Copies of this chain bind each other. A is one copy, B any other.
Amino acid sequence: MQGTMLYAPGDVRVEQREEPRIVESTDAIIRLSASCVCGSDLWPYRGIEQLNGPSPMGHEYVGIVEEVGADVRTVKPGQFVVGSFFASDNTCEICRAGYQSSCVRRQPIGANGAQAQYLRVPLADGTLVATPELPSADLIPGLLAASDVLGTGWFAAVAAEVGPGKTVAVVGDGAVGLLGVLAARQLGAERVIVMSRHADRRKLAIEYGATDIVTERGDEGVARIMDLTDGLGAHSTIEAVGTQESMLQAIHSTRPGGHLGYVGVTHDVALPGLDLFFSHVHLHGGPAPVRRFLPELIDLILTRQIDPGKVFDLTLPLEQAADGYQAMDERRAIKVLLQP
């Protein structure tokens, strides 16, 4: 089969890889309907994250079940499934508390590489959710978004305790930030302030329900948020970048007693204790337990109440994955869908 490999920073290749097979009796093999490039894939692509030799890429996926192991009970061949980027048993105490991405048996999907034609999904029963029937083609991008970026933006909004009447600040206008806007509005936020410098992203932010746009960054951005919130700061802040600057911007944009949900994979971040201490914010985040939200999100998409698929503004055949990485790296695309 064809699959994407990252050989070195900037060096993405689609090449012939061995087709995956059932290894454990709890595995499923799925034929991918779509995959995509994640903002977090750009970290090793840009050389910021260490690469240990050539690595299969991709951890976002939807597809048709091809084969299941002997112990798989909840999905069967022929079904359309959406999965999350960590395989989880969905039965351990941590999963039952809603933290499937910290499941005691979790396995990263990325290690198997979802930017490919086929994918082995461990712990299929606890990881995959099947749709009631095969979805129409135009819903596939939305369902693919549920696999990570929507689930992640949604978790950030839940972690930030977004709710009716609240003012929400969103730091980061990538796909996760934009879907954080969508999530915030779905969860009842009254006002959603997005920090964005890119016209195309601002447009989508407004489509998803943003009420205010702040183009300034850092301390100036914080000052603007304060202006918009009677000097108090947002009730809830969504952080979807993962840098020192974005984390501090998010902390300082949140009012005392407010909540900050952070989902940007943190790189070279060291949070100064006193900033955090005197901010009085609630801080929660990490790798989104997407599996917790999948049934609800799939339903919202299938009933066309939300359209998270709009974040894909470039679709390429899998063979052109390298172009997709480049387009995202250069910010020519918000998010790239790959068709296997």
Which residues of A line the B interface, CB within 8 A?
A: 93-94, 97-99, 101-102, 104, 230-232, 242, 244, 247, 255-257, 262, 265-274, 276-287
Copies of this chain present in the complex amount to 2
Q: CB distance A282 to B279 under 8 Å? A: no
Q: CB distance B279 to A269 under 8 Å? A: no
CB<8 Å pairs between A and B, sample of 17: A94-B256, A97-B255, A97-B257, A102-B280, A104-B231, A265-B277, A266-B276, A268-B273, A270-B273, A271-B271, A271-B273, A271-B276, A276-B283, A276-B286, A280-B287, A282-B283, A283-B283
Question: Which residues from B are CB-within-8-Å of A274?
Answer: 266, 269
Question: Which residues from B are CB-within-8-Å of A93?
Answer: 230, 232
Question: Which residues from B are CB-within-8-Å of A286?
Answer: 256, 276-280
Q: Given B272, B277, B278, which contacts A270 in the complex, CB threshold below 8 Å?
A: B272
Question: 5 tightest A-B contacts by CB?
Answer: A269-B273, A266-B273, A102-B256, A270-B270, A99-B257
The chain B residue with its CB closest to the CB of A242 is B273
Q: CB distance B273 to A277 under 8 Å? A: no
Q: CB distance A98 to B277 under 8 Å? A: no
Give the residue among A267, A271, A280 with the most B Cβ atoms within 10 A: A280
Question: Which residues from B are CB-within-8-Å of A267?
Answer: 273
Question: Which residues from B are CB-within-8-Å of A98?
Answer: 257
Question: Which residues from B are CB-within-8-Å of A232?
Answer: 93-94, 104
Q: CB distance A257 to B287 under 8 Å? A: no
